[in-house]
Chain A
Amino acid sequence: MSSSAAPAAREQSRPHASMLPAAAFYIVFFALPTLCLFVLSFWTADGFQLIPGFTLGNYEKIFTSPLYRALMIRTIGVAFVTTAIVVPIAFAVSFLMRFVFERRGQFILQMVLLSLFSGYLVRIYAWRTILGKQGLLNSTLQWLGVIREPLDFLIYSNFAVVVTLSGLLLPLAVLPLYSAMLNIGRDDIEAARDLGAGRLHVLRTVLLPMAMPGVRTAFAFSFLLSAGDFVTPSLVGGAQSLLIGNIISDQFRGIGSNWPLGAAMAFVVIAVMLASYLIVMRLIRWVTTW
């Protein structure tokens, strides 16, 4: 009968002088390095020597090379599929935590947080033991007699990359969505139903728009992090599932590295992801207005 959402909590907070330290931190550790990288993307490299200048050659190389283009498309594809899996599941989990499990929702939240305590690499390796050729999934299916030979698409494939990334990112997507759900009252849902909305319509016109701040963050987390990841594809992906992140990281270390080209690639990725993000947000807005 009670609901915790106070109207004040719904009000947008305003920028404030107390945000100055955060702003300073942001400028020194994010804006400036990014700017440096941006400048670098117009330079050239000769071996380990960086040569200042202004050339669009790096960008030209990226857009004309079929390899880079294919990698870019695959990266965006993997990121989209991962996000399309993660965000709806996280949304459903958050909804259940908020409206079905209620008080026990806090306990589930602790569990979600706990899963983040185990390291990123540990969790990738955990997925390897599940998806591997002699892994948990294959041996269980064989034992059950469902399959005779191990399924080889389970590991070292795009499938493995998507599953592993989804597993890694799900807890991260649950956090903002659950927190957004806390601002939705049971009576908000009931009011919509009382006024004649069926369940699907409540989702579209009330739940989704009201949880939008959380959806935005969850989308950004899972889309941007999966598009930028290069550890997962190198550990569970096959030769055919390298992502742009792998190539970018190659440009910054070891033999054959080329910082300016890497920087240019990073900016193309940033631009493409930003554009994708804006398109998806517009799409959601279009779905929720009626």
Chain B
Amino acid sequence: MTQTAVEIEGVRKRFGAATALEKVDLNVGTGEFLSLLGSSGCGKSTLLRIISGFEQPTEGSVRIHGTDVTRQPPERRPTNMVFQRGALFPHMSVRENIAYSLKLKRWERSRINDRVDEMLALVRLEGFADREPGKLSGGQAQRVALARALAGEPRVLLLDEPLSALDLKLRQQMQLELRAIQKRLGATFIFVTHDQTEALVMSDRIAIMNNGRIVQHGTPRDIYRRPNSVFVSDFIGATNLLRGTITAVEGKRVVLRTDSGTFHALASDMAVKRGERAALSVRPEAISLRRDPGATPEGYSVAGLVDEIIYQGNTVRVGVRAASGAAIWIEGRGDDFDGLSSGTAVVLSWAPDAAILLREDTE
């Protein structure tokens, strides 16, 4: 991170009695692709609207490239937004839409035309300049919205779930395209989404929000591998949570007793005490399955019966019911589970560092 593009400091937002944002601090680096990820109502859109100027924070400040913009109206801020529905002006052609901010900046006509053509090329819509927005497909409309927002060279581009209305195939293609455009321009993007896969695929960094707070931020890899809470580990990707009580602590080694058995884990950088409630998160793809009960690594395995086998094409998910009744999901390549059927007795095991100890969320 070279320079900070956006600094959000102690931002709090109340709507009447309801609190939408609870003391949010966040820095976004120049040229960074940051996703604000969370389920609906977590405050991610409110935070984006505070950065764009459509909402005023109740407390706290927003700085963009060192300038305090907290009290600036949206039209004065060096940010532009891509809206969920595109919000293209229906009475203007594609060209006029893209030229809107440039005309306001009183650029010369020839310079505006060149810039519009450049933007259309960027989003691969050459030849669409004279179309009416009503005659564009959903994906094309969002590309035009992106071109319109980028035309005036905003210092920060804000994207409010711009792909959520598109179908899966197109969405995946647009994710890569958007990422490529961001890299090419070296622009700062803040992207709001509720889709964790989207956030993982596109972002340099993800900030996960819940109940008006940023609960964890880091690279996609960090967040996936080292979630800091049950909420995050559950929200990002699929996981198995084994909940129980800590019965022993020896240095970093922790013993957790759950209904499904007693497990060992490493408390990497959190202080835990005996008797505390905790959960163990084990990703489905980190679990291996064996049919012979043989030598099982004590503390890192659990026995059960195959309950469900779900064929997903390239992968297969297998649900195993432990003696306690808890369902544990594992996932692997299709042929890993050939010959398995419902009721087969199996042993599930994982590497010691695959199990992540998490404190139960206090709510």
Contacts and interface: CB of A to CB of B under 8 A. Distances in A.
B257 interface: no
Interface residues of A, number: 24
A187 B83 contact: yes
Contact of A3 (B75, B85, B89): B85
B105 interface: yes
Most buried by B among A7, A187, A191, A192: A191
B87 A196 contact: no
Given A190-B74, A190-B87, A195 B148 contact: yes
Nearest to A198: B75
B188 interface: no
Contact of B101 (A188, A196, A206): A196
A20 interface: no
B85 A195 contact: no
A195 B104 contact: yes
- Is the interface on chain B under 10, 10 to 19, 20 to 34, or 35 or more residues? 20 to 34
B104 A197 contact: yes
A196 B104 contact: yes
- DSSP majority for the A interface? helix
A197 B152 CA distance: 13
A185 B104 contact: no
B91 A185 contact: no
A187 B162 CA distance: 13
B245 interface: no
Interface in B103-159: 103-105, 134, 148-149, 152
Contacts of B54: 190, 193-194
A11 interface: yes
B22 to A, nearest CB: 19
B89 A194 contact: no
A196 B134 contact: no
Contacts, number: 68
Nearest to B83: A187
A195 to B, nearest CB: 4
Nearest to A209: B91
Contacts of A210: 89-91
Nearest to A11: B134
A133 interface: no
Contact of A194 (B45, B81, B90): B81
B100 interface: yes
B84 interface: yes
Contacts of A185: 85, 87
B301 interface: no
A212 B92 CA distance: 13
Contacts of B74: 190, 193-194
B228 interface: no
A195 B152 contact: yes
B56 interface: no
A196 B89 contact: no
A194 B75 contact: yes
A188 B152 contact: no
B96 to A, nearest CB: 10
Contacts of A3: 85
Most buried by B among A10, A195, A196, A290: A195
Given A185-B87, A195-B152, A197-B104, 10 more contacts: A1-B45, A187-B83, A190-B83, A190-B87, A191-B88, A193-B73, A194-B54, A194-B79, A195-B100, A196-B101
28 contacts: A7-B134, A10-B134, A187-B83, A187-B85, A188-B89, A190-B83, A191-B81, A191-B83, A191-B88, A191-B89, A192-B89, A193-B54, A193-B74, A194-B74, A194-B79, A195-B75, A195-B80, A195-B100, A195-B148, A196-B101, A196-B104, A196-B152, A197-B100, A198-B75, A201-B104, A205-B89, A209-B89, A209-B91
Interface of A: 1, 3, 7, 10-11, 185, 187-188, 190-198, 201, 205-206, 209-210, 212, 290
Interface of B: 45, 52-54, 73-75, 79-81, 83-85, 87-91, 100-101, 103-105, 134, 148-149, 152
Q: Which 4 A-B pairs have CB atoms at the shortest separation, nearest pair first? A: A195-B101, A187-B87, A191-B87, A196-B104
